[in-house]
Amino acid sequence: MTPFLAIVSDTWRQSKQQIVFLVLIGLMLLLTGGMLAIPKVLTGPDGKAVLGVAFQTQGTGDFETSWDEAYRAAVAKERGFEQRSLPARTAYDEAQAKYRKAVRKRQRLAEAGAAAEQVEEAKAEEETLSAESRERAKSLLALQQELLDEAQKIVDERAKGITPLEKGAEIWLSLAVRFLFTLSMWGFIAACAGYYPAMLQAGAVDVLISKPIGRHVLFFGKYAGGLVLYAAALLACYFLLFVGMGIRTGVWHAPLLGAMPLTLFAVALLWALVGAIGVLTRSTAFAIVIGYVYYVVVDSVVGLVQALKGTEIADEFEALGTISEWSGVLFPGFGRLRDAVGASVLHVPVFEGQPIVVAAAWIAACLGVAYWRFYKLDF
């Protein structure tokens, strides 16, 4: 066995972390089993087989509708529908802003006891702007409906040969991998946080350094070891999902495995961040705390700020709009990575590439800083 593989396998033998990781694997398998116990094949209103849930007796086609909505949203991104509707959206927002300004003006005049002529003039201006706003709204809604119909036409063309049952199975599997993503991120922080601090403890690292093993082998072998353990657990869950869904519904959806690389990539980002904290502080507890603070607090705030992009609030407060724009450049966002994982299971052609590029830069930066510190440490 090469030194690198020896370090990778040694990750599993770290007794303090075996229990945590086994608990994580157990929870992942339990969730996978639960996700397979709920869906069942039913007959829809049109007599076709559709996916339902255990407590239903008649299929509703809700999962098929969700599939269409997800695909339409992807097509809208692919074809740049947002840009096409931007002029109409801008015109409507401007008309609404003028109308609200006119309403406030009339209210101020009335409260100040202004002359009746001034109030009536303000009221007439308000009614004119209200009518203009309604016309802008009609134009915007008409354009949105036109784009929606165009997107649905593309979806129908691309979805030829995909049955309602297959659509339902895809949506359910997409939900399953999203839940697995979230659960495993929570568990992996606790499971991996102690790998580097344990290796850096006095005595343990002295034995390793005394052997003819380069520090780069020690550092990156430990990093790879955490990913290999997680990949094994994830592969078991995905295999169970694939086989279980095939047996229960007859849908053997091989693209499910396409979600694995992106999930591993997200874990690689989280592991790089937590591992860097572990090397810099040599503290398991500190690595866990910082890991959860980032994943739960920082990432949630970043996701909320990014969700404000293009909204009326962001337009009204220029600083907030700028922060929303730059947050997508500076932070990868696990929420967007989770969306990409879910989309990769569907017959959806597009998901955002920006968070993947930003995440890759974060991985390189975290590993670079951590390895530099590890290389400079005196043992």
Residue 272 in this model has a pLDDT that exceeds 90: yes
Which pLDDT belongs to residue 365?
94
Task: Show the tokens assigned to 50.
Answer: 């559709």
Q: What does the pLDDT read at residue 139?
A: 92
**pLDDT tens-digit readout, 231-245:** 988 999 999 999 999
Least confident span in 41-55, 124-138, 241-255: 41-55
pLDDT of residue 270 exceeding 80: yes
In this prediction, residue 332 has a pLDDT band, given cuts at 50, 70 and 90, of confident
Q: Which residue has the higher pLDDT, 7 or 376?
A: 376
pLDDT digits (tens, 9 = 90+) for 144-173: 899 989 988 988 888 888 888 999 999 999
pLDDT in tens, 195-231: 888 877 755 555 555 556 777 888 888 898 888 888 9
Q: How far is the C-alpha of 276 from the C-alpha of 200, rounded, in Å?
A: 13
Q: Which residue has the tokens 């209210």?
A: 107
- Greater confidence (278 vs 18) lies with 278
pLDDT on residue 16: 52
Structure-block tokens of residue 293: 């603070």
The mean pLDDT of 336-340, rounded to a whole number, is 85
% residues pLDDT > 90 (the chain): 20
Give the other-Cβ count within 10 Å of 165's Cβ.
Answer: 21
The 10 Å CB-count burial string (b at 16+, else e) for 30-52 is: ebbeebbeebebbebeeeebbbb
Q: What is the DSSP string of 105-129?
A: HHHHHHHTT--HHHHHHHHHHHHHH
Give the residue-averaged pLDDT of 276-291. 90
Average pLDDT over residues 302-317: 61
pLDDT at residue 344 greater than cutoff 90? no
* Range 262-280 average pLDDT: 92
The three-state secondary structure class of 49 is strand
pTM over 0.85: no
Q: What pLDDT score does 20 carry? A: 77
Q: How many CB atoms lie within 10 A of CB 144?
A: 14
pLDDT band at 295 (very low <50, low <70, confident <90, very high): confident
pLDDT at position 97 is: 85
Range among 143-147, 299-303, 314-318 rated most confident: 143-147
Q: What is the pLDDT of residue 204?
A: 54
- What local confidence, expressed as pLDDT, does residue 318 receive? 59
> Are 38 and 54 in contact, with CB atoms under 8 Å apart?
yes
Of 95, 91, 85, 121, nearest in space to 106 by CA = 121
Per-residue model confidence (pLDDT) at position 61: 77
Please give the pLDDT value at position 18. Answer: 62
Percent of the chain whose predicted confidence (pLDDT) is above 70: 84
Q: What is the mean pLDDT of residues 91-96?
A: 87
Average pLDDT of the residues in 183-190: 88
Q: What is the pLDDT of residues 23-72, one digit of tens each?
A: 888 888 898 999 899 988 888 877 888 888 888 777 787 888 888 888 88
Integer Cα distance of 334 and 339 in angstroms: 9
pLDDT in the model for residue 59: 73
Mean pLDDT of the chain: 82
Tally of CB atoms within 10 A around 273: 22
